[in-house]
Amino acid sequence: MADDPKKNAANKEFKKARQAEDGKRAMTEYENSAIASRAKTARLKALRLARDAELAAAAAAAPPPVVKKKKAAKKKEEAE
């Protein structure tokens, strides 16, 4: 019975150390995930801006569409 308090204290210290290690590991994973997310967002933004610039250049280089004018409708005269 004399070993129980010592054993309990040792278990508590071990548990605290393990929890601290788990906390550090979780924080590292969170930070790595945030870094990866920011990198992915930056890559997608660059792709979107490149696509938009390409579309704008293509629209500027293309001739404006020809608008066809409709002919005036002829009125039917009523013959009485």
| pTM for the structure as a whole | 0.56
Distance CA 2, CA 8 (A): 11
In a domain, 43, yes or no: yes
Q: What is the CA radius of gyration of the chain?
A: 37
The rounded percent of the chain whose pLDDT value lies above 70 is 86
In a domain, 48, yes or no: yes
Number of domains in the chain: 1
- Residue 47: give the domain boundaries: 1-63
In a domain, 78, yes or no: no
The answer to whether residue 1 scores a pLDDT higher than 60 is no
The token pair that represents 51 in the structure block: 């696509």
In a domain, 42, yes or no: yes
In a domain, 76, yes or no: no
Residue 39 φ/ψ, nearest 5 degrees? -65, -40
The token pair that represents 71 in the structure block: 């002919």
The predicted model gives 48-66 an average pLDDT of: 90
In a domain, 75, yes or no: no
Which candidate, 32, 14, 10, 34, places its Cα nearest to that of 22?
Answer: 14
In a domain, 70, yes or no: no
